[in-house]
Amino acid sequence: MSKIQEAIPVQGRGRENLLELLKEAQNRFGYLPEETIVELAKSLDIPVGEVYGVATFYSFLSTKPQGRNVIRICKSLPCFLKNSPMIVKSIEEKIGIKPGETTPDGKFSLQLTNCIGACDKAPAMMINNDVHLDLTPGNISRILQAYE
């Protein structure tokens, strides 16, 4: 039995379950290692490229190891119009990394994402599963401190 089959129940599930299986694998491993993508493709009998394509399409999935806290700042238009670039810059300055990077101590990863469904309280971001709304450069420090 492969590592992926030991970790998550793949048997009896097909290609239509791919996204769900990727989410389960990410929850289990913290990210989607290449080995997991290959094993999943074999288990579902679909091309590795297809699994990789899905794994890299969704911003909530990652093929790279992530920090303990993943910051996802909305980059969609309503948040952009409410100054999300200023929020990105403020966070970059506070934690010293750019989108797509992880702090050397592994505390934070920073990502840009599409709309998270909180446009009426833009700009918005998520840290792990927590949603933070009405962001300003002034309230970023207080929010980040909760994850120190």
Residues that bind ligand FES (CB under 6 A): 74, 76, 78-79, 115-116, 118-119, 122, 124
Least CB distance to ligand FES at residue 83 (A): 11
Cβ nearer to ligand FES, comparing 32 with 124 = 124
E strand or H helix at 127: strand 125-127
Nearest to 118 by CA among 102, 140, 134: 134
Least CB distance to ligand FES at residue 32 (A): 25
Cβ nearer to ligand FES, comparing 10 with 122 = 122
CB 32 within 8 A of CB 26: yes
Cβ nearer to ligand FES, comparing 35 with 130 = 130
Least CB distance to ligand FES at residue 99 (A): 15
Least CB distance to ligand FES at residue 126 (A): 9
Say how far apart CA 122 and CA 114 lie, in whole Å: 12
Burial class (CB in 10 A: 0-12, 13-18, 19+), 31: middle
